[in-house]
Amino acid sequence: MNIRLDKFLSSQTDYTRTDIKKLLWKRKISVDGKILRDGSIKIDPEASEIVADGRKIIYRDKVYIILNKPEGFVCATEDKREKTVMDLLGEDLKRKDIFPAGRLDKDTTGMVLITNDGPLSHQILSPKKHIPKYYIVKLAESFQNDYIRQFAEGITIDRGERCLPAKVRQCPDSENTALIELHEGKYHQIKRMFTAVENHVEKLCRIQMGNLPIPEKLGIGEYMEIMHKDVENLLKPTDFEEVFRNVSEKFSSYWINIL
The secondary structure of 41-77, three-state, reads CEECCCCCCEEECCEECCCCCCCEEEEEECCCEECCC
Nearest to ligand URA of 13, 69 (CB atom): 69
Nearest to ligand URA of 68, 108 (CB atom): 108
CA angle (42 as vertex; 39, 46 as ends), nearest 5:
115
Nearest to ligand URA of 96, 183 (CB atom): 183
Q: Which of 14, 79, 97, 105 is catalytic?
A: 105
In the complex, what is the shortest distance from the CB of residue 177 to ligand URA, in angstroms, rounded to a whole number? 15
| CA distances to 109, 173, 210, 212, 244 from 184, in Å | 18, 28, 12, 17, 19
Pairwise CA distance, residues 192 & 64, whole Å = 30
85-103 as b/e, with b when 16 or more CB fall inside 10 Å?
A: bbebbeeebebeebbbbbe
In the complex, what is the shortest distance from the CB of residue 105 to ligand URA, in angstroms, rounded to a whole number? 4
158 is known as an active-site residue = no
CA 78 to chain centre: 15
Instruction: Yes or no: say if 183 and 127 are a contact pair by the CB < 8 Å rule.
Output: yes
- Report the amino acid identity of residue 10: S
In the complex, what is the shortest distance from the CB of residue 92 to ligand URA, in angstroms, rounded to a whole number? 28
In the complex, what is the shortest distance from the CB of residue 205 to ligand URA, in angstroms, rounded to a whole number? 9
Nearest to ligand URA of 98, 137 (CB atom): 137
Binding residues for ligand URA, rule: CB under 6 A, are 104-105, 108, 188-191, 204
Nearest to ligand URA of 137, 231 (CB atom): 137
| CA proximity to 163, closest of 173, 174, 150, 176 | 150
- Report the amino acid identity of residue 175: E
Residue positions annotated with a catalytic role = 105
